[in-house]
């Protein structure tokens, strides 16, 4: 199983992991030493939702009715609960139900 993994691929994954960790740790280090303004705090608070919207917008534009209904479910749950994780779980659940459970779409 592990013999099939190339050394190059393993090095790339380990390198990306190290850079990701350094970026996050560096951000915490900087924020520990600098007091961000209120507008910076608001921007950091809005960042997770913005990232999700940026990632999913393309999928929604390319998708069909099941994806659009799931997108609406995400928006509704996020608005009602103010919980991004719960909204994403709801959207995935609706999409799976529409594709496999209810409509049998494949």
Residues 6 or more apart in contact with residue 16 via CB below 8 angstroms: none
Q: Based on the fold, state whether residues 30 and 50 are members of the same structural domain.
A: no
**105 in the Ramachandran plot: left (φ > 0), alpha (ψ -120 to 50) or beta?**
beta
Q: Based on the fold, state whether residues 29 and 67 are members of the same structural domain.
A: no
pTM of the entire predicted model = 0.53
Range of the domain at 58: 46-106
Write down the H helix ranges in 1-106: 7-33, 38-62, 65-81, 84-96
What whole-number distance in Å separates Cα of residue 41 and Cα of residue 56? 24
Q: Based on the fold, state whether residues 66 and 105 are members of the same structural domain.
A: yes
Residue 40 within any structural domain of the chain: no
Residue 39 within any structural domain of the chain: no
Residue 82 within any structural domain of the chain: yes
Q: Hey, CA dihedral for 37, 42, 47, 48, is it positive or negative?
A: positive
- Predicted confidence at residue 1, as pLDDT, reads 52
Q: Based on the fold, state whether residues 26 and 73 are members of the same structural domain.
A: no
Residue 103 is given by DSSP the state S
Q: Based on the fold, state whether residues 25 and 70 are members of the same structural domain.
A: no
Express each pLDDT in 2-13 by its tens digit: 567 789 999 999
Residue found by looking up tokens 């390319």 in the block: 62
Q: What is the mean pLDDT of each run of 10 residues along the chain (106 residues)?
A: 78 95 91 87 81 82 91 92 90 92 59
Residue 41 within any structural domain of the chain: no
Q: Based on the fold, state whether residues 24 and 53 are members of the same structural domain.
A: no
């Amino acid at each position: 199983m592990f013999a099939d993994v190339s050394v190059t691929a393993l090095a790339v994954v380990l390198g990306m992991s190290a850079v990701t960790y350094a970026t996050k740790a560096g951000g915490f280090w900087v924020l520990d030493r600098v007091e961000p303004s209120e507008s910076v705090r608001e921007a950091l608070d809005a960042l997770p939702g913005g990232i999700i919207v940026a990632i999913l917008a393309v999928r929604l534009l390319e998708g069909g009715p099941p994806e659009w209904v799931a997108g609406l479910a995400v928006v509704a749950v996020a608005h009602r609960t103010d919980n991004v994780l719960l909204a994403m779980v709801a959207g995935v659940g609706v999409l799976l139900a529409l594709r496999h459970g209810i409509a049998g779409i494949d």
